[in-house]
Chain A
Amino acid sequence: RKEVEQDPGPFNVPEGATVAFNCTYSNSASQSFFWYRQDCRKEPKLLMSVYSSGNEDGRFTAQLNRASQYISLLIRDSKLSDSATYLCVVNPGLYSSASKIIFGSGTRLSIRP
């Protein structure tokens, strides 16, 4: 099993829809989690952190489920500009080395008009 797994997609949804995708991680001791967004042929950009209590930023909600070892990203009222690849990132320890940070391979989201 990969340390961080994401459904590669693509998720193809109409504008205005709500879409959610998950990311599973294998190390139960993992401490911190993040979502990055990467547009086609562009650099990744930090989207949001994922806290145990959940995290909401506008139309985006990130959740952590420690029991089942996954994080999720929900996008409400999706916009054409939300089309991108969403990368899940897991840091095994709060003070661990940068070399332990694991990037998922990403879930591609395509919003159609």
Chain B
Amino acid sequence: NAGVTQTPKFQVLKTGQSMTLQCAQDMNHNSMYWYRQDPGMGLRLIYYSASEGTTDKGEVPNGYNVSRLNKREFSLRLESAAPSQTSVYFCASSESAGAPPMPQHFGDGTRLSIL
């Protein structure tokens, strides 16, 4: 099983460029999440989707947009990249949206550098 697949694994952007991080899961999970991880800090939730067709802001949504294209896919878009968005991005999924909605399976991560 592939589990949660993220692409790309590495990316370097210039300030102001845009890009989309792709995420797909093959476990038929309802909930999907996008986190960022910075040195010395815990994972911080950017956006999550409790089910197909719904998205909600997390702790640090500014500068990002998301799209839950279908049950399998949840993409994260940086419209105008800024150096502060240099980070490691993780997509995750979980079976249920409730009680509690803990991310169970993570992708390998995308290491993004903004110059």
Contact = CB atoms under 8 A, between A and B. Distances in A.
A61 interface: no
B43 A97 contact: no
A91 interface: yes
Contacts of B45: 98-99, 101
Interface residues of A, number: 26
Contacts of B44: 103
In this complex, the interface size class of chain B, counting residues with CB under 8 Å from chain A, is 20 to 34
Interface in A36-55: 42-46
A44 B100 contact: no
B53 to A, nearest CB: 16
DSSP class of B's interface residues: helix, strand, loop or mixed? Answer: loop
A45 B100 CA distance: 16
Contact of B48 (A42, A98, A105, A106): A98
Contact of B57 (A34, A44, A93, A99): A99
Contacts of B2: none
B79 interface: no
17 contacts: A8-B40, A32-B100, A43-B90, A43-B108, A44-B90, A89-B102, A93-B100, A94-B99, A95-B99, A96-B100, A98-B50, A98-B56, A103-B42, A103-B43, A104-B42, A105-B42, A106-B42
Interface of A: 4, 8, 31-32, 34, 42-46, 87, 89, 91, 93-99, 101-106
Interface of B: 31, 33, 35, 40-45, 48, 50, 56-59, 90, 98-104, 106-109
